[in-house]
Structure 1
Amino acid sequence: MLMIRPDFDTLYEALVARDPSYDGRAFVCVSSTGIFCRLTCPARNPKPENCTFHETVAECIEAGFRPCKRCRPTTPEASADPVVGPLIEALEKRPGYRWGEPDLKRMGFDPSTVRRAFKRHFGMTFLEMARQRRLQEGFSTLAGGGKVIDAQITAGFESPSAFREAFAKILGQAPGAFSAKPLLFADWVASPLGPMIAVADRTRLHLLEFLDRKAFPAEFRKLQSYAKGEIGFGRTEVTEQIQAELDRFFAGKGAAFETKLALHGSAFTRDVWRELLTIPAGETRSYSEVAEAIGRPQAVRAVARANGANQLVLIVPCHRVIGADGSLTGDGGGLWRKQKLIELEQSYRGKG
């Protein structure tokens, strides 16, 4: 779910008051820390602009947030569950460990029973939860200035070569290939639709993409070529700005993105992307309508290709382009995401 009820203000008031009536019914994700908490967490209250709220632990983890170590939100109310309780405790003690089914068996658990129990409580399996934790732990170490060996250990890889291979599969290159004195900075960005990677310099956003999109490694390599290999880990004011704007967007507070963009592509591709930027939130266009708008009515297929080559998802709203018959088509980030975004943006219709 992208938006939940009660509304944001009610949930934020409950967070400030540490209202126990919301415990287990809602969780707060804090973009400034990358942590998610119960609303009763004793930690210092975050600023409202850094908060988004979700109904389930699975949504928080899938959005790229780590569980708070103080309020332990991954411990469900059904913590007495003989399967869930011990495994959550084990995961919190070893977030970087490479968990597998043999580990579950050694602990005396049946993997199929564990799978069903975690699906019931969290909407994801224990192994999926563990993999997500490992990925973010390793990336966060690198983005925070840590060494590759530290990230490897944090992510639970005993072999440097295995860590390099796994990392390269995601980003298209090994962590050691990233620049120590970068021109562009890559960092993890959380969203309710899944973790994203943002690449920015000091003034503009160059790439924003979902981590699980198949085209992402190729997009990253193109940007690496543009930057002549000078992409490193880190976060700039531009990254902070786009994170805040995404939080606002998903909280239903505004669809305007003011982050300055760097558009990479041919003149035709950039023309298509600029036209996409004119489509108001809550509205859609067909590929043929976009082709007409840029003065190339015969270039419908080329428009579709340019739409699919978008490297700034959500910001350049390629999800607002649909088939002429109204069907959802061609979204490399997943049609389910396209559907969710269109549904969310209905609340912005007519608001500018």
Structure 2
Amino acid sequence: MNATIILPDPETMYQAIVDRDAEMEGLFLFAVKTTGIFCRPGCKAKPPKRENVEFFATADDALAAGYRACKRCRPQELSGSVPPWLTQLVDALEAEPTRRWSNADLIDMGLSPIRVRHWFQEHYQMTFHAYLRTRRIGLAVDMLNAGQDVTSVALDSGYQSLSGFRDSLRKWTGQSPTSIQQGEPILVERLLTPLGPMLAAASDAGLCLLEFADRKMLPKQFERINKRFQQPILPGTHPVLSEAAQQIDQYFRGERSEFTLPLRLDGTSFQETVWQKLLEIPYGQTRSYGELAKQLGKPNASRAVGRTNGDNRLAIVVPCHRVVRSDGHLCGYAGGLWRKKWLLEHERKARQTQLPL
């Protein structure tokens, strides 16, 4: 089941087109009558005249009206998807994860090193070559945790010397090979959603972060995780991340109302109590900050509840978006109020159809 999206007012949507406002991703699509093409709000193409614009909630609606998808912004795909021009390289990275790629290699594949660097900076907040280094370190950590000896791991990870491997490992993880073997890393993976990419982080102990990738506080959240758990944070895959991706996809499809993921809600005693209360808010319903404070037996702690709500590291799964002001108005969502509105409307519509889960 697809969620029914209530469109913003036309003038707000048109201004988003003029501003190429990618933060409106997921709220609407627009079509240009003179070209027969429909696009995302953040499309880089020249903004059309207002009288030539038609707005749609979904790609299916635009297609049904006879429009075709823009080849530049690819509105039928989730934001953050690998573009066709980069697919060959990404496939090659998966096939040879320890290969040391040079700019000459990219040029041989018909790719512009500058264009590749810009894409990785936009979607991973690091250059292409930095991404390669973190991938190699992630693979090395996996092998060390599996019990392989340091020398073999260094060579199998593409390092030419043991000293270079040790230096690189300490730079990226802050730990020595011996320390790594005695612990486990927190692994990070990107999840694509209708509201934009999210970053998920997990270890064997459970999911410890799920945030929209454009959240300004994201770097601070990673710092807090690193300080609290004292584990290296690296890109990689993990069964908990795979299950999180599946359940988040089901949520956005309207097929899931509860999550069954192992969670790391580590915080102060007060924070953990508030986050547990958030988990008790029924799907499709809301609570006010004051109501939560009263449930905690601290009726004067509304502000503290609000701060703790904002410190939640597990968006959607720990549903801080279900907390509103006492008058019912939306406020205080780190992922953006437009996302909060979308999520609440999505849940309300899904609940009306008697979601089975």
The bucket for the TM-score relative to the shorter chain is 0.5 to 0.7
Q: 2-side partners of 1:215 and 1:318: how far apart? A: 15
One-letter amino acid of the structure 2 residue matched with residue 261 of structure 1:
L
Match of 1:329 in 2: 331
One-letter amino acid of the structure 1 residue matched with residue 323 of structure 2:
V
Deviation at 1:98, TM superposition (A): 4.3
The answer (yes or no) to whether the contact 1:98–1:131 under 8 Å persists in 2 is no
From 280, 289, 292, give the equivalent of 1:290. 292
Q: 1-side partners of 2:186 and 2:120: how far apart? A: 30
TM-score, reference length from structure 1 = 0.57
Residue pairs, 1:135-150, within 5 angstroms: 138=128, 141=132, 144-145=135-136
The answer (yes or no) to whether the contact 2:293–2:305 under 8 Å persists in 1 is yes
Deviation at 1:247, TM superposition (A): 0.8
Deviation at 1:276, TM superposition (A): 0.6
Deviations, residues 197-217 of structure 1 (Å, cap 9, x unaligned): 111002410111112111111
Match of 1:235 in 2: 237
TM-score, reference length from structure 2 = 0.57
Q: 1:260 to 1:54 in 2, by over 3 A?
A: farther
More off after superposition, 217-226 vs 228-237? 228-237
**Which secondary structure does the structure 1 equivalent of 2:136 belong to?**
coil
One-letter amino acid of the structure 2 residue matched with residue 177 of structure 1:
W
One-letter amino acid of the structure 2 residue matched with residue 64 of structure 1:
G
Deviation at 1:231, TM superposition (A): 2.2
**Which secondary structure does the structure 1 equivalent of 2:222 belong to?**
helix
The answer (yes or no) to whether the contact 1:95–1:130 under 8 Å persists in 2 is no
Q: 1:137 to 1:240 in 2, by over 3 A?
A: farther
Q: 2-side partners of 1:280 and 1:224: how far apart? A: 31
Deviation at 1:234, TM superposition (A): 1.2
Q: 1:283 to 1:228 in 2, by over 3 A?
A: same
Match of 1:348 in 2: 350
Match of 1:64 in 2: 80
- Structure 1 position 178 matched with structure 2 position 195: no
Unpaired segments ≥5 residues, structure 1: 6-23, 27-52, 73-89, 101-126, 149-174
Residue pairs, 1:8-19, within 5 angstroms: none
Q: 2-side partners of 1:4 and 1:298: how far apart? A: 37
Unpaired segments ≥5 residues, structure 2: 6-36, 40-57, 61-68, 89-106, 140-169
Deviations, residues 308-346 of structure 1 (Å, cap 9, x unaligned): 000001100000001111111011111111111111111
The answer (yes or no) to whether the contact 2:121–2:127 under 8 Å persists in 1 is no
Count of residues in Structure 1 that have an aligned counterpart in Structure 2 = 238
Q: 1-side partners of 2:228 and 2:343: how far apart? A: 30
Residue pairs, 1:123-162, within 5 angstroms: 132=122, 138=128, 141=132, 144-145=135-136
More off after superposition, 323-332 vs 178-187? 178-187
More off after superposition, 288-297 vs 234-243? 288-297
Q: 1:288 to 1:98 in 2, by over 3 A?
A: same
The answer (yes or no) to whether the contact 1:96–1:133 under 8 Å persists in 2 is no
Q: 1:307 to 1:133 in 2, by over 3 A?
A: closer
- Structure 1 position 247 matched with structure 2 position 263: no
Deviations, residues 21-78 of structure 1 (Å, cap 9, x unaligned): xxx989xxxxxxxxxxxxxxxxxxxxxxxxxx96564556663211346999xxxxxx
Q: 1-side partners of 2:280 and 2:291: how far apart? A: 12
Q: 1:260 to 1:275 in 2, by over 3 A?
A: same
The answer (yes or no) to whether the contact 1:320–1:342 under 8 Å persists in 2 is yes
The answer (yes or no) to whether the contact 2:278–2:319 under 8 Å persists in 1 is yes
